[in-house]
Structure 1
Amino acid sequence: MDLVPTLGARLLIQLWRQLQVSRRRLPSPLASGSPCRKFEFNPKLGIDNPVLSLAEDRGPSDVWLCPERPRFCLLSKEEGGSFGFHLQQELGGARHVVCRVEPGTSAQRQGLREGDRILGVNRHAVEQEALEAVARLIRASGPRVLLAVVAGPALDTARAQQGDGALLCPTLGPGVRPRLCHIVRDEGGFGFSVTHEHQGSFWLVLSPGGAAERAGVPPGARLLEVNGVGVETLTHSQLSRRLWQSGEQVTLLVAAPEVEEQCRQRGMPLAAPLAEGWALPTRPRCLHLEKGPQGFGFLLREEKGLGGHLGQFLWEVDPGLPADKAGMQAGDRLVAVAGESVEGLGHEETVSRIRAQGSRVALTVVDPKADRFFRMVRLSPLLFLESAEAPASPQSTRSASGAETEDPPGADTALPRAPRGSRQCCLYPGPGGGYGFRLSYVASGPRLSISQVTPGGSAARAGLQQGDEILEVNGRPVDGEDDVDRLHQLAEAEPPLCLKLGARSPRGWSGL
């Protein structure tokens, strides 16, 4: 029996053949260099696009759409761990290159790749900064850091188009950032209700004059975190339970509609390290001390703090001496020296950094209440100082004139301040008896320099990096090949080993 196709069947067959021809003739979006328009289906109008796109939906910051635009990697680390990558300065240039990514770490999971150039750290553009300053910003970020990166070839293309002077890293100005708001419940509760579109998408509706509005929560804000925990995987009932379990106070990370729009246009995530603090219950304190005849007037001890983690704590603050006058309190934990984080450093390395400042020192500290708060929200207290660097003038914070530290046997007195462009480091041998670095000697240029630093060793914890030039050893200048042998002999001498280091060469690198 012959099968005669009906008119409807013939039309369907003809439409199918036209569709196949259209698909064969369609140029690839990757080959043409033009982005593929997202496929949208309107149930009322039907399918109005005869070409089926198999490409995944991507945002405006994806590399395949615009490879010269930065992509953002939000990295996190556990207490005492690392982000899992190493950074070096490009030879002959000022670009900061990811030279190694450790497998299984946050850096690898978030898509950081070898050869990527670092353009921004949190809310700071770092394209023109020195490698040491970039590493300092990353370490000061605490358990979470947001990096703006771009692949090397794409950066070269962008530089050729826009010029070397153009900054490629998008930033958010003051007042146009996510907010970390601490809300204390009053007779009207927290002063907001929550609306949601689907799981993980929540917005706040404020009560006029309520606790949330007074704490700085903007109208129509998107909710991002509750007490340091993201809400993207929570249902509405789970979120309600978390808010109820917060008790009398809660800390929310929120973003106003205009902030959300600015981040969307720039391809930036709404990340906690970008946040400004509003109505926070406590903040870090920067103390400026000038050494007096009786010293600074405090003791520094290494002991276990919150969660059993080791830290450097300030005790025995002598009344009337510089530390007391500057506002130091017994039990404060030291988080930075001269604006540089000392988190994760051992006692000896911390002491050497204090001594390297000479008779004037700037210490950033947190009291136990502040320590608990910033650990809860998983952010470094250094992100919420009035400025990213310690103030240069003692008048900007409470200051005082003179630290005594609880020193290991045989330690010297405070070191003199190193000349500008150099720095002092005092090393103590590790458990195996070594200092954890190797030397190189060249007949021209920097004579004696650090060629290798053992990760986790005494030298690495003290801040030595590959490429550092050694100017002095225990107060004696080095200028010849014989100094290599002398330095090896000093490894057997009584610690500490005190080095004066010159500016790092472009080959310098840092593990983070």
Structure 2
Amino acid sequence: MADPQDTTTLTLKFQFNPKLGIDNPALSLADDHLDSWGPQRPRFCLLSKEEGGRFGFYLHKELGRAGHIVRRVEPGTSAQRQGLQNGDRILGVNGDTVEHEDYCGVVRRIRASGPRVLLIVLAGHVEEAVRAQQPDGSRLCPVLDSGVRPRLCYVAKDEGGFGFSITHGKRGFFWLMLSCGGAAELAGVPQGARLLEVNGISVESFSHSQLSRKLRESGDHVALLVVGPEVEEQCRQLGLPLAAPLAEGWALPARPRRLHLEKGPKGFGFLLREEKGPSGKLGQFLWEVDAGLPADQAGMRAGDRLVAVAGESVEGMNHEEAVTRIRAEGHHLSLIVVDPDADSFYRMVRLSPLLFLEDAGSQAEGPASSQKLPSVSQGEDQASLSTDLASPLGVSTSLVPPALPSFRQCLLSPGPNGGYGFRLSCGADKPDIVISQVTPGGSASQAGLHIGDVILEVNGQSVSRENIFEVLQQLIDTKPPLRLRLVAQGRGSTEAWSSLEPGKDWIVPSERL
């Protein structure tokens, strides 16, 4: 029991269990389980990010309708290979229902999933028929019961080895037999669990000798993705694949940390720098944490990698975008970070740390600064980016745009991500449609759009509050370039504005993922 053993010579009898409804775990994932659902049932697409950091599709939001729609599946990408189709409606992300979430929330979920994401989708052409059969929509998106998930377990070898032996059926089907009180049991591995991955690598195509070699190469520690018999059976009944993004973490060696900072008289007290990490991939890293300042008091450590700002993933953002996102939070920052060891672990298992943040509990919380301190005055550091891509985040930068002429025309073409890079807002008591956000370096920014600009015309069509839905649809459907006629803030009638719905902006609803 000290190390994995070949137990194929043993005869293991699997008794029929009327509760589970199977008499052999090898049959719990029949190859035809997806076909049995038929065309009017949800499909499951497990996508992996390509070299460019994308899954290979656009997420679209139809104005005036619920749901999140797949558009423009890119040829040769993971999305196309896994059967995602134009017009599919996304019902769930990583096992959680998202039908009634707002559009931006679904985009954040997918981006926060990291290298892999499991989408539950329904073909657009059958949606109406399916909803007619189930008007309450209660069972459109299959969901696992609470606490019923695959497990990602980190097993540290002790004097008894890893504490399990292996039995297997056909190629790629392995089950773990645990020694009582051994390392695997202490790490949360269920008795009789099926092994799915070792250190982020699927064992689906492994022979027993290949698996044994992989485990030996792991040294004294190994990360196992496993699924217990009950979970496997429920996934089979729902048609859910046994996918890593569904996993919950057990005895993991490192957790993401949530830091809460309030800006003091000398700023936050850290430096953000874009550089390559140990994996060779670019990331946003935190350095020069000043002793006694808010970052230090919150538990930040030099070398931490920034994962999210205010719960929104910064994976894939360039340095300027990350800095802008942090500055937008003002005096109060909520950051999610990982130290180098945690960063290496999550990159090895090819999962985002954000998937395990909820499991982190109180240990993930860094000590927050309890003293509310004033910020420095505007304009103290006008050079927010230096040539080495470092940005001191202890001071404010003036964002006041230069004076602009009364009226002007701007011509926009889509950026590399397929979007134009701006948001729109409409005042609750004013008719103006204004630019409420401009992505730094995006198409809108390069064309000269500024926050507060009032849109007067889109491709020659006058814009008003009454035709906002038609205009937004035109922004989506029109062929580039997009021609806008604008008036600068202060030259039109808008002095202040809010969104059409409290706390929400109307955004051109198409994101490349």
- Give your verdict on TM over 0.5: yes
Q: Do residues 240 (structure 1) and 199 (structure 2) align?
A: no
* Distance in 1 between residues matched to 2:259 and 2:444, nearest whole Å: 24
Q: Is the 8 A contact 1:146 1:273 kept in 2?
A: yes
Partner of 2:454: 478
Paired letter, 2:40: E
Choose 1 or 2 for highest CA Rg: 1
Partner of 1:146: 118
Partner of 1:324: 296
Partner of 2:41: 69
Of the three residues 97, 100, 104, the one matched with 2:72 is 100
Partner of 1:398: 367
Q: Do residues 120 (structure 1) and 92 (structure 2) align?
A: yes
* Distance in 1 between residues matched to 2:510 and 2:217, nearest whole Å: 45
| CA 1:138–1:98: 2 relative to 1, 3 Å | same
Partner of 1:508: 509
* Distance in 1 between residues matched to 2:171 and 2:309, nearest whole Å: 43
Paired letter, 1:342: V
Partner of 2:314: 342
Q: Is the 8 A contact 2:499 2:506 kept in 1?
A: no
* Distance in 2 between residues matched to 1:504 and 1:376, nearest whole Å: 37
Partner of 1:219: 191
Paired letter, 2:34: S
Q: Is the 8 A contact 1:181 1:252 kept in 2?
A: yes
Residue 332 of structure 1 and its aligned partner are, at CA, apart by 0.4
Q: Secondary structure at the match of 2:130?
A: helix
Partner of 2:201: 229
Residue 304 of structure 1 and its aligned partner are, at CA, apart by 1.4
Residue 414 of structure 1 and its aligned partner are, at CA, apart by 5.8
Q: Is the 8 A contact 1:215 1:278 kept in 2?
A: yes
Paired letter, 1:473: H
Structure 2, gaps ≥5 residues long: 1-29, 400-413, 458-462, 464-483, 490-496
Structure 1, gaps ≥5 residues long: 1-56, 417-429, 465-469, 489-498
Q: Is the 8 A contact 2:384 2:397 kept in 1?
A: no
Q: Is the 8 A contact 1:314 1:334 kept in 2?
A: yes
Q: Percent identity?
A: 59
* Distance in 2 between residues matched to 1:263 and 1:441, nearest whole Å: 43
Q: CA RMSD in A?
A: 3.9
Partner of 1:459: 442
Q: Secondary structure at the match of 1:386?
A: helix
Paired letter, 2:353: P
TM-score by length of 2: 0.72
| CA 1:332–1:83: 2 relative to 1, 3 Å | same
Within 5 A, what are the aligned runs for 1:318-397?
318-386=290-358
Residue 160 of structure 1 and its aligned partner are, at CA, apart by 0.9
Q: Is the 8 A contact 1:346 1:461 kept in 2?
A: no
* Distance in 1 between residues matched to 2:234 and 2:255, nearest whole Å: 28
Q: Do residues 258 (structure 1) and 230 (structure 2) align?
A: yes
Residue 291 of structure 1 and its aligned partner are, at CA, apart by 1.0
Of the three residues 90, 105, 110, the one matched with 2:62 is 90
Q: Is the 8 A contact 2:95 2:120 kept in 1?
A: no
* Distance in 2 between residues matched to 1:431 and 1:257, nearest whole Å: 48
Residue 58 of structure 1 and its aligned partner are, at CA, apart by 6.3
- Aligned length in residues: 414
Paired letter, 1:447: I
Q: Do residues 407 (structure 1) and 407 (structure 2) align?
A: no
Of the three residues 137, 142, 150, the one matched with 1:170 is 142
Residue 461 of structure 1 and its aligned partner are, at CA, apart by 12
| CA 1:438–1:359: 2 relative to 1, 3 Å | closer
Q: Is the 8 A contact 2:261 2:298 kept in 1?
A: yes
Paired letter, 1:459: G
TM-score by length of 1: 0.73
Paired letter, 2:433: R
**Deviation sequence 1:60-109 (CA, Å, 0-9, x none):** 433x7432321100000145420000011123212100011000000000
| CA 1:413–1:505: 2 relative to 1, 3 Å | same
**Deviation sequence 1:255-310 (CA, Å, 0-9, x none):** 00000000000000000000000000001101011111111111111111123221
